[in-house]
Amino acid sequence: MTDLDHRPRHVADAAAAAEFAEAAGGLLLRLRAEAGTALDDAERTTLRDRGDARSHDELIRLIGARFPGDAVLSEEGADDRARLHAERVWIVDPLDGTREYGEPPRADWAVHVALVEHGELVAGAVALPGLGVTCSSAEHPDPLAVPPPPSPRILVSRTRRPAPILRLAEPLGGTLVEMGSAGAKAMAVVRGEAEVYAHVGGQYEWDSAAPVAVAQAAGLHVSRIDGSPLHYNRPDPQLPDLLICRPELAARTLEVLAR
């Protein structure tokens, strides 16, 4: 993957991505507030389904109004194969961490908005509405401003604990930290709250595009778990694994994952 292009046009695209993600996040917060906090299982399911659909509709509306000639690949939308021939494609996850969203007051869920040109990420933003935080490829913390702690924090899913990720802790001398959505995990590394986020076992392009755009712009290592580059807007949107980590931990992490 090439470095993100931060010419003025792509800075404006990153700002638009952040604006869109924040608008969808605000809608999701309002839906959650209307639902309340004492939810039974059926009410949680309804909230999650409604959030997915309404956030998708909002993002499609906003992108279409601002960039009518661009294509969109969304987790919640039908896959229009015309995107494969489009110059600019927005890749969005309207609600990343649906499980956590349906468990108020959890904040480890996100909205992802990324822009791809000719298969390469050029802009992206991840909103964490529950925290009131949005990070973009143009506006983000500097996770490398301070050295990593002696014991790196390694992020792992709340509900899935794949053996390759669990095996990272001992050789890296690290500790495992549970967290919800992919966007929340990636932004925890960007924000200096963790050092390693590795995922195996299945994802799609919308799960990682925006987080990778932000993480790469922040100077972090991003790759597949075999060290190969990530590519987007492919015919098959499955992109099953991911590594985002501090660059000084990349070689050792990739070595352990290769076992």
Same domain, 101 and 165: no
Same domain, 16 and 96: yes
Per-residue pLDDT at 8 = 58
Question: Would residue 22 count as lying in a domain?
Answer: yes
Per-residue pLDDT at 2 = 42
Question: Would residue 142 count as lying in a domain?
Answer: no
pLDDT tens-digit series, residues 136-170: 999 999 999 999 899 999 999 887 777 888 889 99
Same domain, 66 and 107: yes
Q: Could you tell me the residue range of the domain that residue 185 belongs to?
A: 153-257
Question: Would residue 147 count as lying in a domain?
Answer: no
| Structural domain count of the chain | 2
Residue ending a domain, choose from 107, 136, 165: 136
Question: Would residue 103 count as lying in a domain?
Answer: yes
Q: Which residues in the chain land under pLDDT 70?
A: 1-8
Same domain, 231 and 163: yes
Does this model's pTM top 0.85?
yes
Question: Would residue 197 count as lying in a domain?
Answer: yes
DSSP assignments along the chain, one per residue: -PPP--SHHHHHHHHHHHHHHHHHHHHHHHHHHHH-S---HHHHHHHHHHHHHHHHHHHHHHHHHH-TT-EEEETTS---GGGGG-SEEEEEEEEE-HHHHTSTT----EEEEEEEETTEEEEEEEEEGGGTEEEESSS---TTSSPPPSS-EEEEESS---HHHHTTHHHHT-EEEEE--HHHHHHHHHTTS-SEEEE-S--BHHHHHHHHHHHHHTT-EEE-TTSPPP--S-SS-B---EEEE-HHHHHHHHHHHT-
Per-residue pLDDT at 1 = 41
Residue ending a domain, choose from 110, 136, 162: 136
Per-residue pLDDT at 159 = 78
Question: Would residue 78 count as lying in a domain?
Answer: yes
Question: Would residue 26 count as lying in a domain?
Answer: yes
Same domain, 242 and 166: yes
Same domain, 97 and 161: no
CATH number, domain at 112? 3.30.540.10
Residue ending a domain, choose from 136, 171, 196: 136
pLDDT tens-digit series, residues 12-33: 999 999 999 999 999 999 999 9
